[in-house]
Amino acid sequence: MTAPTAPARFGSYDPAEVTWLLTDLSHVALEVPTEDREELIQGGRHYAEMLPVEYQPDEAYTALFHAALRATAGRLAEAVGLVGELLLHEHGGPPVLVSLARAGTPIGILLRRWYAAQGLDAPHYAISIVRGRGIDEVAVQHVLDRHPVERVRFVDGWTGKGAIARELAVAVARWPGLDPRLAVLADPGSCTDLHGTRDDFLIPSACLNSTVSGLVSRTVLRDDLIGPGMFHGAKHYDELAPVDVSGVFLDAVSDAFAPVDVAPLLAADRAPTWEGWAAVERLAEEFGIRDVNLVKPGVGETTRVLLRRVPWQVLVRPDRGAELEHVRVLAAARGVPVVERDDLPYSCVGLIRPAGAA
């Protein structure tokens, strides 16, 4: 079998900062309108077989993104440093970073920059993982053919209830020695010990889609497009280059890098409790939702619901109001009720409208 070839140039990131192990599907029409896509997903079609139409924000929402980035850049930089130092502590040197495309990819680049600032080289690859269908095994093998298995670390932006963390643990079991733990900036679901914080706060890259993720789409896995021996696919939205803020996000955070004290985190009990998953199951039962995948906890996942799914309602903690302005703006634009709940373990939770619900 011929080895797959990574695109020489894909997306808007500098190729020195990430190697995308993806098949370029930019020429294929894959986008489906939101309402139609939701109906297909809840009717049984897999979400990875099609793409949402890219949300294009207005000037007011774009201004919210920039305001959120200014407000959180320091906090994000600290979380990057803490995760970076945790990994250094375990390895004694920089890891091989494998980010989960696409939300994990800017985080992988930030970690790579953290190490570079210390004169350390951390190779960085971006690969696909699909809930219910597993990780891109061709891409994983590509990495393992080039690097020692014990150096590889998987990276994402945040955890919600932990579905991808669970998917990853099952998917990599076939490779002895490959660490299944996910390294994330924020772990509000308590799914991993490799985190910068367990606070549920806004990571501004969740506010947008491809325009803060190197102009790359969500990943695609469809039998008629991805055959044996091929990487999972994605699209490069080159036409959105004029509104691309991927570099703006990265520079704002990396410009805020400062020394971190990882000792308290090393001394703390970081064992996962999976309390987020338990909370989601309680909410699903309360609202009569049979599929827990329709309950999306946390700021990042709630934002995704409002950007590319059919939201039913949004639950928010009243004490987190200042950090959730973008959620309220998106909810108002889509006519989605925002309900305050002071008993949430997350800052907010997005509920996707079940098929047939009023």
Q: Is the peptide bond before 102 cis (omega within 30 degrees of 0)?
A: yes
What is the structure's pLDDT at 4?
73
Per-residue pLDDT, 2: 57
Among 242, 267, 292, the domain-final residue is 267
Which of residues 267, 297, 315 is at a domain's end? Answer: 267
Residue 323's pLDDT is: 81
Based on the domain organization, do 177 and 121 belong to the same domain?
A: yes
> Whole domain around residue 310: which residue ranges?
275-352
**Domain edge (last residue) among 237, 267, 297:** 267
Measured CA to CA, the distance from residue 273 to residue 43 in angstroms comes to 33
Number of Cβ within 10 Å of residue 354's Cβ equals: 15
HSE at residue 69, side-chain half, CA atoms within 13 A, is: 23
Residues 103 and 174 in one domain: yes
Does residue 6 lie within any of the structural domains?
A: no
Contacts of 331-335 spanning 24+ positions with Cβ under 8 A:
331/306, 334/306
Amino acid 5: pLDDT? 66
How confident is the chain (358 residues) per 10-residue block, as mean pLDDT? Answer: 68 96 96 93 94 90 93 97 96 95 97 98 98 95 96 96 95 95 96 96 92 97 95 96 97 98 96 95 95 95 93 94 88 95 94 81
* DSSP codes joined into one string, 245-306: -HHHHHHHHHTT------HHHHHS------HHHHHHHHHHHHTT-S-GGGEEESHHHHHHHH
Backbone angles phi, psi at 306, to 5 degrees: -70, -25
Number of structural domains found in the chain: 2
Could you tell me if residue 298 is inside a domain? yes
The pLDDT of residue 128: 98
Q: Are residues 247 and 314 in the same domain?
A: no
| 59 plus 107 within the same structural domain | yes
What confidence score (pLDDT) does residue 321 get? 74
Q: Is residue 357 part of a domain?
A: no
- Which pair of structure tokens corresponds to residue 247? 């570099």
- Distance between CA 258 and CA 197 in Å, rounded? 16
Q: What is the pLDDT of residue 91?
A: 87
Helical spans, DSSP H, in the chain: 34-42, 59-91, 105-116, 137-144, 163-171, 246-254, 263-267, 275-286, 299-308, 325-333
Q: Is residue 2 part of a domain?
A: no
Q: Is residue 1 part of a domain?
A: no
Is 13 contained in some domain?
no
